[in-house]
Structure 1
Amino acid sequence: MASNGKTQRGGFGVGMVVGLLVGLVLALGVALYVTKAPIPFLDKVPQRTAEQDAAEIEKNKHWDPNSPLHGKNPAKPGSGLARTDGSPSPAAATQDAVASAVANAAAGVAAASSAPARAASAAAAHASAAATAASASAKPGADAFVYFVQVGAYVSTDDAEQQRAKLAMGGLKARITEREQSGRLMYRVRLGPFETREDAERMRDQTTASGYGEAALVRVPR
């Protein structure tokens, strides 16, 4: 009975070892199959060669995203207004020449149009000076003063405004001027100015006769 138990234990151990070996062999076979079998969806895509990559890179060097906007005659590379050595192309030189010619023509037209204007302005100034000289010669004794008729001088602005209002009701336009006199500020009500002494005297007599008070004649240098 003892030998039979030993035999069973030995057979069980051998079976386990054999089972482990078989499992390792199966696992190794599955691993080899997975690594060598083609991967779904990935291996179906054709692989690009180095020549194809180089051709694609060369093609993308001159790719222009705006080429559909150029129409049937797209601009060729290097046909711009500047050359690779930094000098202007013939097209750029032609455009500069045209622009310079247009600018020169415009300057000539402006100069030609401004010349008559300057001549007319000089003639007008000369005529004005001549007219002034003629007027001065026609009136050798021209008065050097202008004249005012002062209808009152007041310490209070209210009094001055009342006098001006009375004159306005009589159809006479007066104005109030300020001046310091003997340390006090005086508000003067005046009519004028008048170009001649005769006109000022007539206005003085009129205001006095109308009852606006004693009026005085004041002359001021021009």
Structure 2
Amino acid sequence: MKGQRGGFALGLIVGLLAGLAIALAVALYITKAPVPFIDKVPQRTAEQDSAEVERNKRWDPNAPLAGKQPPLPAAAASAPTAAPSAPPTAARTPASAPAAQGGSTRDPAAILAGQSTDRAAEAFVYFVQTGAFTRTEDAEQERARLAMLGFTAKVSEREQAGKTMYRVRTGPYGTRDDAEAVQGRLQAANIDARLVRAEKP
């Protein structure tokens, strides 16, 4: 009797559990409710799907490289870009001040070079030589011819190749221009004239 009671109780429990399982399955099928521990993903609506599609259309894969910048408002994005302002007027440098005041703008190095050239030119004098003779009589005759033309000349001696030469020259002249002017006048009178430069004594 005890074995029959135990088998009956066990069969009753198994039958109840089976009935509950069947009833639960039918209820889930009818209501389509998520099954605990199995269907954990919530059902998506049509609105959520359309919103996801729009986000995918506007997605920019390069956005992270550009940095996190907030999107511009619609009014700011449509507004035209302002033209860049003109650069401020550069302050006048000290080098430009003399030019504005009428002063000299020459480079100091150029000024010094010009002064050096002037000093070098001042270290020489110029003569116009019309001949060099081996006899003093010929030199004196040449000097007399120049005197007749209105030029003052002098006869000077110089040793050259073991011989004494007598040179007939006019001058000295302080500048090359003055000497070249006299040379031109002598050449116009058919006199062979040569420009000679010598150091100041």
TM-score range, shorter chain: 0.3 to 0.5
Hey, which of these two has a bigger chunk of helix by percent? 1
Using the size of structure 2 for normalisation, the TM-score is 0.40
Question: Normalised by the size of structure 1, how large is the TM-score?
Answer: 0.36
